[in-house]
Amino acid sequence: MLFNRYYSIGTPSKKGYSWPRLLLAVLFTVIAGRLLYLQIIKGNYYWQRAERNRIQNFFIKAPRGRIFSRKGTNLVGNQPIYSLLLATEGLDSKIKKQLAGKISKLTGRSLKEINRGFDLKEKQPFGVVEIISNLSTEEIMKIEESSHYLPNVFIQVNSRRKYPYGDNGAHLFGYIGEVSREELSARRSGGFKLKDKIGKTGIEKSYDDYLRGSDGFKKIEVGVKGEHRKLITSRPPKIGNDIILTIDWDLQEAAYRALGDRAGAVVAMEPDTGEILVWLSKPGFNPEDFTLPFSKARAEKIFHDPKHPLYDRNIQGEYAPGSLFKVVTALSALESGKADPNTEYTCRGSIRIGYDRKLYRCWKNTKHGRLDLKDAIANSCNVYFYQLGMETGVDIIRDMALRMGFSKKSQEIFDYENTGLIPSASWKKKKFNRIWYPGDSANMSVGQGYVLVNPMQLLKAFSAVAASGKVLKPRLVKMILSPEGEVIEKREPIVEKTLDIDKKNLAFLKKAMRSVTEYGTAQYLNLNMDVASKTGTAENPHGEDHAWYAGFAPVENPRIAVVVLVENGGYGSVASMPVAREIYKAKFKEKLNEK
């Protein structure tokens, strides 16, 4: 029978077949041990990694809030920009080449430019790269028409910061840029990510927390080819809040036009509210240059421009105030009793001061003759003030200057203010190891010598005079609105302090400043209204004199105080006063037309 036959060929080992048992046990133990390691010991680790494998985070950029003038002019906004993206997953170089050719043909852009985007991708083998960062509407249409032939290519909308007024107000708005590593570590709680945009200067920086929205995200389950399978969770982006500035854009534009191409600074504010109406510094820059993709050449050009366009002259510029400082000298003399309105000195065109009999000149060669304080201010007589200053002394003048806010920060909006210098005898001793000469007092009393101020400090001081001693905190922001238009915050005037100065003396000073406009150095202002003015011409060791103007109007219940600086402008009455005139004209348009 077929079934029961067997052949005893071959001699099985006598030891039995222990090797199969051993082999089976060893191999399967290794397998089971590996399973134990992967699934039990490292299970959580691999589980998380598998989750990361399947879930991709997509951030949705939140547009920044917009910035408006007090009357609703949109000063800073956002513009959608369209970029062409490529999903690189699973594309070989041949397909890439074909795609580059097609895109180049469609857009008319050079193959070189397209390939630059493709090359970038080589560094990140998986994911999405930007090929073109600024698609035009025409290009978008062409690409969408032939999207069928462009696999893996898609268009993404981003928003770019838009500054429609170019360099006008650039220092006020500031600019945005990618968050730096320092900012990242300093404000980790703020939910920043690398590559996020953050305000670097100006309002963009100071009010970044309000302007910057919070990015939304989508957690999406993706398949192996990156295809979206389902939405797991999402949070919509929260648009940043809008900011209504105190700036009156009509006045700002008037100042911008009047200043023209000259370097300088113009600030104006409401003396009784502290609301800043004009904030202009020139030369400026276009903040949009910082929103474009970083270009080293462009950055070099801006950062190393000898004219310092990034410099906000309103608070970073330190200048000799020239004759504007005579207001401080006069006030200190009056308050200390060293002089009264009737105190007279004689001007013979110049005066010899000190042991060395050094000659100090008045600003004009003709003699002013005998003058009282009011006329001395009206005519800006240096010789009068040399004598008054020496009589009053450095300490008293300095004390008044400090009380009026010089040598310290004039505002809390921007943290990069330079505070200037009000000298003292001890300061000079320390700095130059020289004693304080009477000539130093003479120089100081006309705002020359060591005195350095910035335009904003001057504005604050003149506003205090205008507001009869009340010092208002300068403010740039009137309101903060939610994206839906609801008022989130409303900023009210804050009285910083009230100068402890005799009202009589302030009233006299106003009267004296009015006479400057009526028959003094600002008589050609020539406006049909009461304006208090003071002009100044500050000697500048580096070149042509700086031209100053400070003033407010109307004299009673002033609505605006203005400070104008024209660098190397020459006479204040010639270079700076006309700029202020344009601001007054814009401010009191209706009123002036009535008359």
Partner 1 sequence: MKNKIEKIILASILLLSVINIVMVASATVQNAGLSGFWMKQIFAVIVGLLVMWGIRNISYELFLELSPVFYALSVILLVTVLIIGKDVYGSRRWLNLGFLNFQPSELAKLSSIIFGAYLIRKKASVIKITLSFLLLVILVLVEPDAGTALMFLPAYLGVMLVSGRDIRWIFIIAPFTLIVVLTLFTESYININQSSLLDPFYLLIPAVITAVLYFVMYELKKVNRNIKFFNIITVILLFWASWGIGIAGARFLKDYQKKRIVSFMAPDLDPLGAGYNTRQSILAVGSGKFLGKGLYEGTQTQLGFLPVRHTDFIFAVIAEETGFLGSVAVIFLLGMLLWQFIKVIERSEYPAGKMIVSGAFMLILIQATVNLGVTLGLLPVIGIQLPFISYGGSGVIMFMALTGIVLNINRQTEIIGI
Q: Tell me how many degrees the CA angle 480-486-491 measures, rounded to the nearest 5.
A: 30
The region of 27-35, 137-145, 179-187, 467-475 touching partner 1 under the rule CB under 8 A is 27-35
Is 365 among the residues that bind partner 1 (CB under 8 A)?
no
Residue with Cβ nearer partner 1 (23 or 487): 23
Binder of partner 1 out of 32, 231, 494, 507 (CB under 8 A): 32
**Contact predicate 249/257, CB 8 Å:** no
How far apart, in Å, are the Cα atoms of 116 and each of 101, 111, 468, 562? Answer: 13, 9, 64, 52
Q: What is the DSSP string of 413-425?
A: S-S-----B---H
The region of 217-225, 243-251, 346-354, 516-524 touching partner 1 under the rule CB under 8 A is 217-225
Is 51 among the residues that bind partner 1 (CB under 8 A)?
yes
**Contact predicate 389/383, CB 8 Å:** no
Say how far residue 3 (Cα) sits from the centre of its chain. Answer: 100
Least CB distance from residue 16 to partner 1, whole Å? 6
Residue with Cβ nearer partner 1 (45 or 416): 45
Compute φ and ψ for 12, nearest 5 degrees.
-65, 150
Is 15 among the residues that bind partner 1 (CB under 8 A)?
no
Positions 52 through 81 that interact with partner 1 (CB under 8 A): 53-54
Residue with Cβ nearer partner 1 (8 or 342): 8
Show the binding pattern over residues 176-215: x = contacts partner 1 (CB under 8 A), - = does not.
Answer: ----------------------------------------
Show the binding pattern over residues 223-242: x = contacts partner 1 (CB under 8 A), - = does not.
Answer: xxx---x-------------
Is 12 among the residues that bind partner 1 (CB under 8 A)?
yes
Is 36 among the residues that bind partner 1 (CB under 8 A)?
yes
Torsion of Cα atoms, 256 then 535 then 202 then 209, to 10°: -120
Is 348 among the residues that bind partner 1 (CB under 8 A)?
no
Residue type, 27: L
The region of 5-13, 105-113, 426-434, 533-541 touching partner 1 under the rule CB under 8 A is 5-13
State the CB neighbour count (10 A cutoff) for residue 443: 22
Is 219 among the residues that bind partner 1 (CB under 8 A)?
no
Is 105 among the residues that bind partner 1 (CB under 8 A)?
no
Cα distance between residue 547 and residue 545, in whole Å: 6
| DSSP single-letter state for residue 45 | H
The region of 29-37, 180-188, 402-410, 468-476 touching partner 1 under the rule CB under 8 A is 29-37
The region of 79-87, 222-230, 335-343, 407-415 touching partner 1 under the rule CB under 8 A is 222-230
β-pairing verdict for 358-361 and 477-481: unpaired
Is 13 among the residues that bind partner 1 (CB under 8 A)?
yes
Is 31 among the residues that bind partner 1 (CB under 8 A)?
yes
Is 39 among the residues that bind partner 1 (CB under 8 A)?
yes
Least CB distance from residue 230 to partner 1, whole Å? 10
Q: Which two tokens stand for residue 303?
A: 């950062």
| DSSP single-letter state for residue 236 | -
Query: 3-class secondary structure for 509-576?
Result: HHHHHHHHHHHCCCHHHCCCCCCEEEEEEEEECCEEEEEEEEEEECCCCCCEEEEEEECCCCCHHHHC
Is 17 among the residues that bind partner 1 (CB under 8 A)?
yes
The region of 13-21, 385-393, 509-517, 535-543 touching partner 1 under the rule CB under 8 A is 13-21
Is 149 among the residues that bind partner 1 (CB under 8 A)?
no
β-pairing verdict for 470-472 and 560-566: unpaired
Least CB distance from residue 121 to partner 1, whole Å? 15
Q: Which residues contact 224 (CB under 8 A, 6 or more apart)?
A: none
Q: Which two tokens stand for residue 172?
A: 């006020």
Beta-bridged to residue 231, according to DSSP, are 220
Residues that bind partner 1 (CB under 8 A): 2-13, 16-17, 19-21, 23-24, 27-28, 30-32, 34-36, 38-40, 42-47, 49-51, 53-54, 221-225, 229
